[in-house]
Amino acid sequence: MLKGILNADDAKKAAQAGVDGIVVSNHGGRQLDSAPAAITVLPEIVRAAGGRIEVLFDSGIRSGQDVLKALALGARGCLIGRAHLYGLAANGEAGVTAARGIIRKELDVSMALAGVIDIRDVFGRYSL
């Protein structure tokens, strides 16, 4: 896996180099005022990857609704490290379990409000 992709050309190069997948993320780049928001470049990167490699998303996932948006824009999965860390800091292992449960419940509610029954039906369904 290669993390930190924010450019479609880099996604193509990663696929050509034989990586198994990429993580669309501006991790560390948030200090630069000209770095694009990862969510805005996600659809272009997914198109550039062309199904040859897995595309995961990591940047700004704070809720189940954020997960649904990233999946709808083409990500095959999301990293939710910050929620895990907050849960861990608040209540150890039980806090991590609770944080995951909250995001899962928010995802379920967001899917219901969007009329989505099966998460597989949302993958790459929308674009910006």
Kindly list the domain boundaries of the chain, sorted by start residue. Answer: 2-121
Instruction: Give start and end residues of each alpha helix (H) in the chain.
Output: 8-17, 38-49, 64-72, 81-114
User: In the structure encoding, which two tokens stand for residue 119, read together?
Assistant: 């998460």
Per-residue model confidence as pLDDT tens digits over 12-71: 999 999 999 999 998 766 666 777 889 999 999 999 999 999 999 998 899 999 999 999
**CATH no. for 2-121:** 3.20.20.70
Predicted pLDDT at 30: 61
User: Residue 91 pLDDT more than 90?
Assistant: yes
User: Residue 5 pLDDT more than 90?
Assistant: yes
User: Residue 128 pLDDT more than 60?
Assistant: no
27 in active site:
yes
User: Residue 113 pLDDT more than 80?
Assistant: yes
The catalytically annotated residue of 27, 47, 52, 100 is 27
Which pTM value belongs to this model?
Answer: 0.89
- As a whole number of angstroms, the distance between CA 109 and CA 57 comes to 21
